[in-house]
Amino acid sequence: ASLAIYEGKIIAVGNKQVDEIKNKYAFEIIDAEGMHLTSGIIDEHSHIALRSVNESAQVSSAEVRMSDALRPNDVNIYRQLAGGVTSAQLLHGSANPIGGQAAMIKLRWGCSAEQMKVENADGFIKFALGENVKQSNSSSFPTNASRFPQSRMGVEQVYVDAFTRAKEYEAARAVKGNTVRRDLELDALVEILNQKRFITCHSYVQSEINMLMHVADSMGFKVNTFTHILEGYKVADKMKVHGVGGSTFSDWWAYKYEVNDAIPYNAALMSSQGVTVAINSDDAEMGRRLNQEAAKSVKYGDLSQEEAW
């Protein structure tokens, strides 16, 4: 079949549809016989095109925005376009339990930072669990007590405390209006409670994945995506009930202690339970070949090529 593109937009799909408009435009004709034409790839977890990634000095940095740190001349935009990636979610790092607000971009090489932003995109925010958050790999661990939390149980309390404060803040502003001092951090958390901002959470270990879903259920919000989620195959049934997606690596494991139980069948097993699954990069080089990363689930898990795509 034929497909017509004009000024970067697909305007017709199918032989009949293209025939009806082909004389209205000056098209370049490309014979793609024997080739594959695919949709653009979306990278759910990327850190390219950013001048800064982590604001780690406090336990919650929900007020910072990755859209304020866009770097449109990053050569990785060009390279990833060559690999078929057309859109990416630029996430805050995983230094603290509640990170910054994500930026949704189209990979538009040669455009300004503002032109890269996806217009009217839903708001997202990065949360994180595990070793990074409790600073297990800090050179001064466990003596470094400069910032709470230092344990997995402390991470849970961060979320309970943060959303308790957000609810109290929202209630106070509803009654007293602008006499209650504006708090940009709590504004972002209130957006989560009102389903106007959505969570992507860095995660590995099943106990913490369960913990955050439990906290979310008890505090009245939802987790949109668990990213990395290398033990997702252990809790895929619970993820399905909660309605959370899994954005995972294809075959990374054992690069730190909490990843020891990761397996390359993770994506296929989560998918088999009805979880929406994606393969993310979290790496500028891997972002160039996400199609090949997804294809590994054909080998590990017997997905069809279409399911893997």
Share of the chain above pLDDT 70, in %: 97
pLDDT beyond 90 at 116: yes
Average pLDDT over residues 241-266: 95
> 3-state SS string over the chain?
CCEEEECCEEEEECHHHHHHHCCCCCCCCCCCCCCCCCCCEEEEEECCCECCCCCCCCCECCCCEHHHHECCCCHHHHHHHHCCEEEEEECCCCCCCEEEECEEEECCCCCCHHHHECCCCCEEEEEECCCCCCCCCCCCCCCCCCCCCCCHHHHHHHHHHHHHHHHHHHHHHHHHHHHCCCCHHHHHHHHHHCCCEEEEEEECCHHHHHHHHHHHHHHCCCCCEEEECCCHHHCHHHHHHHCCEEEECCCCCCCCHHHCCCCCCHHHHHHHCCCCEEECCCCCCHHHHHHHHHHHHHHCCCCCHHHHC
> To the nearest whole number, what is the mean pLDDT of the chain?
94
177-235 pLDDT, tens digit each: 999 999 999 999 999 999 999 999 999 999 999 999 999 999 999 999 999 999 999 99
Write down the pTM of the prediction: 0.92
How sure is the predictor about 142, in pLDDT bands with cuts at 50, 70 and 90?
Answer: low
| Residue 93 pLDDT greater than 80, yes or no | yes
What pLDDT score does 145 carry?
57
Q: In the prediction, which pLDDT does 34 show?
A: 92
Distances (CA, A) of 88 to 97, 129, 154, 268: 22, 22, 31, 22
pLDDT score of 239: 98
Evaluate if residue 69 carries a pLDDT over 70.
yes
pLDDT confidence bin for 29, thresholds 50/70/90:
very high
